[in-house]
Amino acid sequence: MTGDVGLFGPDSVTWKLHQEPILMLGGLRSLYLQALHPRAVAGVAQNSGYRADPWGRLVRTSNYVGTVVYGSTAEVHAAAARLRRLHSRLHATDPRTGERFRVDEPDLLRWVHVAEVESFLSTAVDAGVRLTPAEVDGYYTEQRRAAELVGLDPATVPGTAAEVADYYAAMRPELGLTRDSAETALFLTVPPVPSTWGGRALRLGLTLGPPRWAYLGVASTAIALLPAWARQMYGGLGWPTTDLAARLSVRGLRALLAGVLATLPEQYRVAPMRKAALERAGLQPAA
């Protein structure tokens, strides 16, 4: 390697996993899962402008994740410092108890972190990305570095698949569907159409046409990919047949994305942040 590759680098499981475009669906899955924590979702609902600017918030979140994965050391720590400063100023009220709390409480940060990284990994595996058990554990261990960036003690963050499973089992009594959860899930499933994408015909097509139905299919797949216990909290089915259907659907989506990427000019087939990181590492992006 000839340059600064940040927290992970080309030999990491993180780089192997995050080159997969299907992880966008994993990000959506994680939001449904995160919303089942009453305190975490209250913190978002009471502080976030996601209803007014959902697409902008999605872009900012994606940029942060991309920076942590592929940014230089300086870029990673600058982005994390901005996020910690933002979180340090935010408070919310627990709708069940009336207690005032900080949104950067370790328990909340840990829940958001685990739900996110587990969603990325589980979605990729369900989509057909091949990882050995050692690579699965390696991904969780590597992601402790990302958890430390937001202010968590890495030793308190699950670092293997078994530890993640134990963490979920311990958390389930604290989870459930609240009004904030239901409203967030509905918003994620039927988001507003961006009014800035220009043209009445385009907006009408996004509202009523194939893109809207295609997105509903994507959102439905994200919900179906949730653990059975999480689907049941949303009032869905926990049957194994749902898991099978979700895997078939996400594998089809992965193949579709690969087909679309193959039609693009070579310079657009690799995400800019990944391309920059590969260049710093003295490597050429795969065509």
Q: What is the pLDDT of residue 205?
A: 44
Instruction: Encode pLDDT of 204-260 as tens digits.
Output: 444 444 466 678 888 999 999 999 999 999 998 777 778 888 999 999 999 999 999
Give residue 197's pLDDT band: very low, low, confident or very high (50, 70, 90). Answer: very low
Q: What is the pLDDT of residue 201?
A: 43
> What's the one-letter identity of residue 25?
L
Token pair for residue 266?
């070579």
- d(CA 131, CA 109) in angstroms, rounded, equals 27
Q: How far is CA 247 from CA 4, 224, 251, in A?
A: 37, 9, 6
Q: Which whole number is the average pLDDT over 38-44?
A: 94
> What's the one-letter identity of residue 122?
S
Question: Of 93-107, 133-147, 200-214, which has the strongest mean pLDDT?
Answer: 133-147
Give residue 53's pLDDT band: very low, low, confident or very high (50, 70, 90). Answer: low
Domain ranges of the chain: 13-191+265-280
pTM of the prediction? 0.90
**DSSP string covering 44-82, please?**
HHHH--TTTSHHHHHHHHHHHHHHHHHS-HHHHHHHHHH
